[in-house]
Amino acid sequence: MAHTKVFAGARVVLPTGIVDDGRVIVEGTRIAGSAPEHAEVVDVRGHWLVPGFVDLHNHGGGGASFSGTADEVQKAIRAHRLHGTTTLVASTVTDDMDFLVQQAGLLSELAEQGDIAGIHFEGPFISPCRKGAHSEELLRDPDPAEVRKLIDAARGRAKMVTLATELPGGIESVRLLAEHGVIAAVGHTDATYEQTVEAIDAGATVATHLFNAMPTLGHRSPGPVAALLEDERVTVELINDGTHLHPAALELAFRHAGAGRVALITDAMDAAGIGDGRYMLGPLEVEVSEGVARLVHGGSIAGSTLTLDRAFKRAVTVDRLPVEDVVAALCANPARLLGMADQVGSLEPGRFADLVLLDENFDLKGVMRHGDWVVAPQLS
């Protein structure tokens, strides 16, 4: 019989709110509803207990990327697990189609094994005007046949494609993605407000890092930001590293979309969990200095070095958002988007025992995935 552990005394964040002196029961790999009489009790008073984080958009970490070999991909997964991310979608960047098809095959095997939750293709179907850290010469219009090629190569594991929906073939591609149950995400886009509304009506449901790599909110041309924020069908990704967004922009998104429609992501690259130095983002060279990643040529911000534990702490302590809203944006919302809400993203019975233990300062003290410690807490 599976060994049962009862974590008692923590402030537990549940979908219904915060429970002081709450408890979470872990039996084997899952969260249980009740414990046998003599189950082991672990005292976690003075801590927060929240679900493991779910990252929708992540290119790598620990010195390795999701565009690398299987070993490198495992290294990147590990780097983020150490920071509380127990479920993640591996993101590629713009590259040539043959490479992306091949990488989709590799990543689909890791998804099959349960190491990643699926694949996010960011590019190549994005706007040259908003290319950010993507290779301009490899960008192309979103041809539905090519979109289909990527989905097929991912063998049922494609979760999301970021595209500039205003480009020729964009709306047809959104429809194709929606029909195949793949999230169409509006991003790296130069669309107008009206064009963005059209994309949402065609089935787009995510805003790829809202505000970044898209036109700013203007009073005569509200652009994609207004269209994505106002529509109930859309979840907006936000990178809360203090570099990509001003705290007021983050707060505006949380207020306007509501906590149920925000997903905090990392958009992390190789340097996450490591530090400054020279790295590659797909085919492009990146310099990381004081935690900020920029292209060596051109200076565009090139992903982040963020981990979700830092995004959590910042959201609560700097941005002063309610803990339960931040947990929704880090766990339940992305889990729901991925169709995994019955498996991850909350501390309800039946879900995987994916837990993050934080101290009263919101510093990470423990990480459990599927009932095993990734980071074992030092409990007194």
Note the Cα 45 to chain centre separation in Å: 29
Phi, psi of 220 (to 5 degrees): -100, -25
**Binding flag, residue 354, Zn ion (CB under 5 A):** no
- CB under 8 Å to 267, separation ≥6 — which residues? 57, 58, 59, 91, 209, 237, 239, 244, 303, 304, 306
DSSP for 101-159? HHHHHHHHHHHHTTSSSEEEEE-SSS-GGG-TTS-GGG-----HHHHHHHHHHTTT-EE
Q: Of the listed pieces 5-13, 21-29, 263-271, 344-352, which binds Zn ion according to CB under 5 A?
A: 263-271
Q: Is residue 18 marked as binding?
A: no
Sign, CA dihedral 97-100-106-109, equals negative
Q: Is residue 133 marked as binding?
A: yes
Tell how many helices (H) and how many strands (E) occur in the chain: 10, 21
Phi, psi of 14 (to 5 degrees): -105, 165
Structure tokens at 5: 């552990």
Pick the closer one to Zn ion by CB: 234 or 306. Answer: 306
Binding residues for Zn ion restricted to 151-180, rule: CB under 5 A? none
- CB under 8 Å to 39, separation ≥6 — which residues? 4, 5, 6, 25
Q: Of the listed pieces 47-55, 164-172, 262-270, 321-329, which binds Zn ion according to CB under 5 A?
A: 262-270
Pick the closer one to Zn ion by CB: 2 or 296. Answer: 296
Q: Of the listed pieces 119-127, 179-187, 277-285, 290-298, which binds Zn ion according to CB under 5 A?
A: 119-127
Q: Is residue 311 marked as binding?
A: no
- Sole binder of Zn ion in the list 27, 146, 166, 267 (CB under 5 A): 267
- Which amino acid belongs to residue 368? M
Closest CB to Zn ion: residue number: 267
Least distance to Zn ion, CB of residue 138, Å? 15
Least distance to Zn ion, CB of residue 228, Å? 16
| Catalytic residue set | 267
Q: Is residue 11 marked as binding?
A: no
- Sole binder of Zn ion in the list 27, 122, 190, 237 (CB under 5 A): 122
Pick the closer one to Zn ion by CB: 165 or 346. Answer: 165
Residues that bind Zn ion (CB under 5 A): 122, 267
Q: Which residues are annotated as a binding site?
A: 122, 133, 188, 209, 212-213, 220, 244, 301-303
User: What residues form the annotated binding site for Zn(2+)?
Assistant: 122, 188, 209
